[in-house]
Structure 1
Amino acid sequence: MKNRTLAVLPLALLAGFSASAAHAQTSSASPAEASLKETVVTATRVEQALTDVVADITIVDRVTIDRSGATGIADMLARVPGVSISRNGGPGASTSVYLRGGETRFTAVYVDGVRIESQSTSGGASWNAIPLSQIDRIEVLRGPAAAVYGSDAIAGVIQIFTRQGQEGFFPWVEVGAGTYGTRKLDAGFVGGSGVWDYALGVTRETSTGFNAQPAGNPDRDGYRSKAVSAKLGLKLVPGHRLDMTLLSSKMDAQYDASNSRRDDHALSELTTSSLKWSAKWSDVYSTQVSVSEGTDRYETRPSPYLTKTRLSNYLWLNQWRLGEHNVTASLERREDKFANVDTTPPTTDRSQNAVALGYGWQTGKHSVQLNARHDRDSEFGAKSTGSAAYAYAFVPGWSLTTSAGSAFRVPTLYQRFSIYGVPSLKPETARNVEVGVKRDVGGSHFSVVAYRNKVSDLITYVGGPGSCINGVGARAGCYGNTARAEYSGVTVAADGKLGKFALHGSIDWQHPKDLDTGRELARRPREMAKLGVDTQVAGWTVGTEMELVGRRFNDAANRQRMAGYGLVNAYASKRVASDWTVLGRVDNLGDKTYQTARGYATAGLTVYVGLKWAPL
């Protein structure tokens, strides 16, 4: 009964404020405000107004990130509808992000258009290595997008953008300190003229941390991180632009290895770079040509383990806008290279070549988006995916949506060629259907989306002593295409203004399950609710957030139950002088003891205070 009633109060509040906020926005929005349309690029890889997108998307901007006080990007994403996380300790520890309950490797992640991933073990982005302080904007696309992005986008896509240059010159410096010996220094500037624009940011953070495994190694597990991001844009001639980006991040995090009382360290390095030429040849035809590379390096000390992944990508994207019609055609090549002492040979690689087509049509009450893509993998041969989405605006501001799509993910090079690997592994495949209702009026949003995503040939770690042979003899286990899974659920989300209050919230009911056993997939809650409100009081911006997470199981056998929990956070900021802003944050106000991975502690009541200098 407790789990069923978890979201009753948030649901009532969410329904109430979404309707009221929509009414308030409708009656007060000016024509100028109504004409301003927020744009996204993640749904189709080309710029679209958010209100025109059929897909289920959430945008997180820099203001939201600053107010959140989140230490890592995973903590920030945990506030987004449809997202849950698990982590083996503090911000620097191994982290999984589950989008609609899908495996962390089922979300394709991009930084400034550069694909990032580790080919180690089961794969996926190294979330602890992505520096939140350098991020200006996040777009979260829920639902398969392989017909646009190729392999990996089974649960969705997360696009991360660092700060962008703009005309003028705007520097900033922020210093802060908090609980667990946390120290932060963030500085940078953005600027530009009519021809050039640029951005540069640097960050250093340290924390003594807390004991991640109270029952194990009694030491505190802190971290040290530093990051730099840079962008340079040049307008070559009218309609033609060249963009260069760079991100480098390093994290040294202490962790507790199994049965170890040593001072274990995990060293993570993430680097992305890209060069893009955007050209508008006419009012109808435009192109993008980009070359990018992302590298992910992971090392543990004193235990000798080292992996390095390099992903190189080449993209030629063409777009035709013909009145109500929008057509895209792309050629793309991806090259993966992986180095690890546990693989045979120690360095392995593969490539994928693809052609993708897209068609969008909007007129009156109807919106259609069709996508198809054909990938040819150097190891697995041809793989074709497609998607179709439709929206019907049955009354002004309200629309019904429906979509269906297929997706796939090829095994990591570690899963195929390590001592635990099986070269004959097949790609994981998925088929998704969803329906929804959306309301977008005057800057307020409300949506209800129901989905079901079925995955076949799911790769899991199986076997026992002597059950897997890979040329070097018997092993304790291996990877295999041994399971099927279903990720189904309903997401309700809303945001808007009610008088002087800005509100946002979401509720998720989800059921990620193993179709062969009927059991729930590990570390994913059945229910989640997230609510937040902020307002202005005597020159201060003050706000609070509530997060409710239902019970989960820590293991695939569903024998290790983890209790649900609720968290309340609060924040405040004020411009105390023309160029100075003071900000404060208290997380886990109730000092709640909870776990996202069994046996690993999480932070208790946490306080952070910062001072920022940023001339207007």
Structure 2
Amino acid sequence: MSSIFARAARPVLLVACGMPFASSAQSIDSADRHAGTTTLAPVVVTATRASEPLADTIAQTSLFDAQDIADTNASDALGLLALAPGVQITRNGGPGATSGLYVRGASSAQSLVLIDGVRVESAGVGAAQLSQLMLDEIDHIEVVNGNVSALYGSGAIGGVVQIFTKEGGDHPPRVNVEAEYGSYHTQRQQFGVNGALDREGRTTFDFTVSREKTDGFSSIDPALAPGANPNANGYLNESVAATLRHTFSDTWDGGVRFLQSNGINSFDDAYGRPSDLNESHDRVRSASVFANGRLTDRWTTHFTIAQGQDRANIEQNGVYTNRFNSENRQYLWQNDVRLAAGHKLLFGYEHTDQSLDSDQLDAPDRHVNSIFAGYVGRIGASQFQANLRRDQYSDFGGANSYYLGYGYNFDAHWKASASYAASFRAPSFDDLYYPFSGNPSIQPERSHSVEAALQYASSRLGVLRLTAFQTRYSNLIDYVADGSGFYIAQNVGRAKVQGIEGSWAGQVGATDVRASFTLQNPVDETNHEELTRRARRFAAFTAHRSIGHWRVGGEWIVSGARSDYESTLAGYGLVNLSARYDITKSWYVDARIDNLFDKDYELAYSYNTPRRGAYLTIGWRQL
């Protein structure tokens, strides 16, 4: 996957909840550095809701910047996240198919996805459609592993994935285009323009639109599901993203952001007829208006009004059969106060309205009022983080969550850290209201997490980290037989995930390297068995290097066996290769090979995966 923005080292504006931050190519204000500690260039915001160097985060945090997006063979956000430490993905077929994200053994509904700070999950199932989000519209992605509900509320038990769309730069408008063709008759086109609308650079913008279409392959193996249609299942995605930001004065700026991804996915039904034609018409949308102001030299304030939307409408043989349309409306006020050098206080208020329009169930709107506060600071070699949050729900009551973290710098490179956190997941509308299985009296799922880590960081090698973690789940929502043939949602489940996680993002000479491995024990303590679709062992490794006009590299993704609903999925190893050649300063060509050794593997029982594929991209950028 190529990106014309990723070739030169340039500032990248990080934004969360409308807030402007130092770029991933810049360092944070020296007044906030710890004396004697090496401060690395990459800066992230998701781990504390405020900007800090990647090496300073207490929670395990990964950053996939514009260069990482340009290097990867993936075309959507879900594929890129397979390279993140502690992350496993599943797909029920090819591109655009129903998918799953498992962070440290937590389910998709227990791991939160944000787009520019906006929640976009389905109210019905409680998970976001990551397979609908194309990388063409994305500037960078941050992944925080571990229990951080104290920062973001429900669903952040396993962690948070925050996607940041592209921003304009302080330069005249520049155009970029790409066109791709490859296996399964895959076609992709992308057009973008970004820059400043005035000479002073006070008004900047970005506009990106893309289209991807593939004929695909049969999503279900007919040998395992004779009722499935053996035809190829194609996918069409059309996406657009736009950002406009204006600086009103030295102390205030604001703007708007918009992303919409529409997908039409052909899929198979294992319990249908071989002649059935099934399609899912999906949409993910994020829209927000934001304003940021500096009230004093120490106090900044941020306002955001946002809408997140998830739509999934099922069509069978030309007739719509299911409709699930969710909407999240958010209102956020956040304040950051610098108490002294190295000490920051964060506090704010968030209101969320969540609704579901469906022909399968009736659900009242949900209203959530939340207050949160946090502190980050340093005293000598010690680093502290504390967060507390209260969420009050209209349908089941309140939930509290907290996070306590500590880090100690032995010297300029070595750091040890530990944290303890309490978190929750609110019941989804399906859990509460689905006919014959929902239970309006169920309560939130709960979890408690503890982790300890050892980290080495330097500007030469990057960030290396080894983390031991444990999360205990209680009050899990399981569906229990009621004796009349129905399964009713009940708070009866317990689970535990223990593990060791290693990660490295850095360099070996002129080669950019990213590596991760996870050894874990995900156990369903209620039924005394392994949690489904969670491997005990998995790892990923990437290496990319620029040689003259060339950029070459590869990915290696491996996983051990996983249980999957009375079956066992075999382990697998995938190798992907890519090469890019800059023909001129403006023109380039990019080639990639997926699944080099043509491995036959499964991410979900009975569902096929793509075999070896080759793809060629040609692109042009205005200088």
TM-score, normalised by the number of residues in structure 1: 0.90
Equivalent residue runs for 1:55-134 within 5 Å: 55-120=59-124, 122-134=125-137
In structure 2, the partner of 1:236 is: 248
Structure 1 residues 567 and 41 mapped into 2: Cα distance closer, same or farther (>3 Å)? same
**Are the equivalent residues in 1 in contact too, given 2:363–2:433 (CA < 8 A)?**
no
Equivalent residue runs for 1:70-469 within 5 Å: 70-120=74-124, 122-168=125-171, 169-192=173-196, 193=198, 194-215=201-222, 216-257=228-269, 258-261=271-274, 262-302=276-316, 304-322=321-339, 323-343=341-361, 346-419=362-435, 420-442=437-459, 444-463=462-481, 466-467=484-485
Q: What are the Cα deviations for residues 163-202 of structure 1, in whole angstroms up to 9, with x where unaligned?
A: 1111112221000011011000011111014210100000
Offset at residue 36 of structure 1 (A): 6.0
Equivalent residue runs for 1:493-504 within 5 Å: 493-504=503-514
Detail structure 1 runs of 4+ shifted over 4 Å in the superposition: none
**1:575 corresponds to 2:582:** yes
**Are the equivalent residues in 1 in contact too, given 2:328–2:354 (CA < 8 A)?**
yes
Which SS does the other structure have where 2:290 is aligned?
A: strand
In structure 1, the partner of 2:47 is: 43
**Are the equivalent residues in 2 in contact too, given 1:455–1:485 (CA < 8 A)?**
yes
Offset at residue 465 of structure 1 (A): 6.3
Which SS does the other structure have where 2:156 is aligned?
A: coil
In structure 1, the partner of 2:597 is: 590
Measure the CA separation in 2 of the matches of 1:85 and 1:252: 21
**Are the equivalent residues in 2 in contact too, given 1:58–1:80 (CA < 8 A)?**
yes
Which SS does the other structure have where 1:415 is aligned?
A: helix
Identity across the alignment (%): 31
In structure 1, the partner of 2:16 is: none
- Residue identity opposite 1:392 in structure 2: Y
**Are the equivalent residues in 1 in contact too, given 2:138–2:166 (CA < 8 A)?**
yes
Measure the CA separation in 1 of the matches of 2:261 and 2:581: 30
Structure 1 residues 353 and 43 mapped into 2: Cα distance closer, same or farther (>3 Å)? same
- Residue identity opposite 2:303 in structure 1: V
Measure the CA separation in 1 of the matches of 2:569 and 2:479: 22
Measure the CA separation in 2 of the matches of 1:55 and 1:547: 24
**Are the equivalent residues in 1 in contact too, given 2:71–2:544 (CA < 8 A)?**
no
Q: What are the Cα deviations for residues 134-168 of structure 1, in whole angstroms up to 9, with x where unaligned?
A: 11100000011111111111111111011111111
Measure the CA separation in 1 of the matches of 2:478 and 2:191: 43
Measure the CA separation in 2 of the matches of 1:528 and 1:334: 36
Measure the CA separation in 1 of the matches of 2:251 and 2:424: 36
Which SS does the other structure have where 2:530 is aligned?
A: coil
- Residue identity opposite 2:455 in structure 1: K
**Are the equivalent residues in 1 in contact too, given 2:40–2:54 (CA < 8 A)?**
no
Which SS does the other structure have where 2:70 is aligned?
A: helix
Measure the CA separation in 2 of the matches of 1:244 and 1:311: 17
**Are the equivalent residues in 2 in contact too, given 1:171–1:188 (CA < 8 A)?**
yes
Offset at residue 592 of structure 1 (A): 0.2
Give 1:542's match in structure 2, choosing from 533, 542, 552: 552
**Are the equivalent residues in 2 in contact too, given 1:578–1:615 (CA < 8 A)?**
no
**1:611 corresponds to 2:618:** yes
Offset at residue 497 of structure 1 (A): 1.9
Which SS does the other structure have where 1:180 is aligned?
A: helix
Measure the CA separation in 2 of the matches of 1:356 and 1:464: 39
Measure the CA separation in 2 of the matches of 1:174 and 1:372: 45
Measure the CA separation in 1 of the matches of 2:541 and 2:163: 23
Measure the CA separation in 2 of the matches of 1:390 and 1:91: 41
- Residue identity opposite 1:312 in structure 2: R
Measure the CA separation in 2 of the matches of 1:36 and 1:505: 18
Measure the CA separation in 2 of the matches of 1:52 and 1:502: 21
**1:507 corresponds to 2:507:** no
- Residue identity opposite 1:259 in structure 2: G
- Residue identity opposite 1:321 in structure 2: R
Measure the CA separation in 1 of the matches of 2:305 and 2:513: 40
Offset at residue 404 of structure 1 (A): 0.4
Aligned pairs, number: 569
Offset at residue 510 of structure 1 (A): 1.3
Measure the CA separation in 2 of the matches of 1:149 and 1:69: 31
CA RMSD between the two structures: 1.4
**Are the equivalent residues in 1 in contact too, given 2:73–2:577 (CA < 8 A)?**
no
In structure 2, the partner of 1:9 is: none
Which SS does the other structure have where 2:463 is aligned?
A: strand
Offset at residue 213 of structure 1 (A): 1.2
Offset at residue 562 of structure 1 (A): 0.9
**Are the equivalent residues in 1 in contact too, given 2:432–2:440 (CA < 8 A)?**
yes
Measure the CA separation in 1 of the matches of 2:356 and 2:192: 33
**Are the equivalent residues in 2 in contact too, given 1:349–1:413 (CA < 8 A)?**
no
Measure the CA separation in 2 of the matches of 1:143 and 1:35: 23
Q: Which runs of 5+ in 1 are unaligned?
A: 1-33, 468-475
In structure 2, the partner of 1:602 is: 609
Measure the CA separation in 2 of the matches of 1:270 and 1:220: 24
Measure the CA separation in 1 of the matches of 2:218 and 2:336: 53
Which SS does the other structure have where 1:166 is aligned?
A: coil
Offset at residue 593 of structure 1 (A): 0.1
Which SS does the other structure have where 1:153 is aligned?
A: coil
Which SS does the other structure have where 1:259 is aligned?
A: coil
In structure 2, the partner of 1:22 is: none
Offset at residue 449 of structure 1 (A): 0.6
Measure the CA separation in 1 of the matches of 2:176 and 2:40: 27
Which SS does the other structure have where 1:208 is aligned?
A: strand
**Higher mean Cα deviation, 509-518 or 403-412?**
509-518
Measure the CA separation in 1 of the matches of 2:53 and 2:505: 17
TM-score, normalised by the number of residues in structure 2: 0.89
Q: Which runs of 5+ in 2 are unaligned?
A: 1-37, 223-227
In structure 1, the partner of 2:14 is: none
- Residue identity opposite 1:235 in structure 2: T
Offset at residue 482 of structure 1 (A): 2.3
In structure 2, the partner of 1:16 is: none
In structure 1, the partner of 2:30 is: none
Offset at residue 256 of structure 1 (A): 0.2
Measure the CA separation in 2 of the matches of 1:208 and 1:359: 51
**1:532 corresponds to 2:539:** no
Offset at residue 495 of structure 1 (A): 2.5
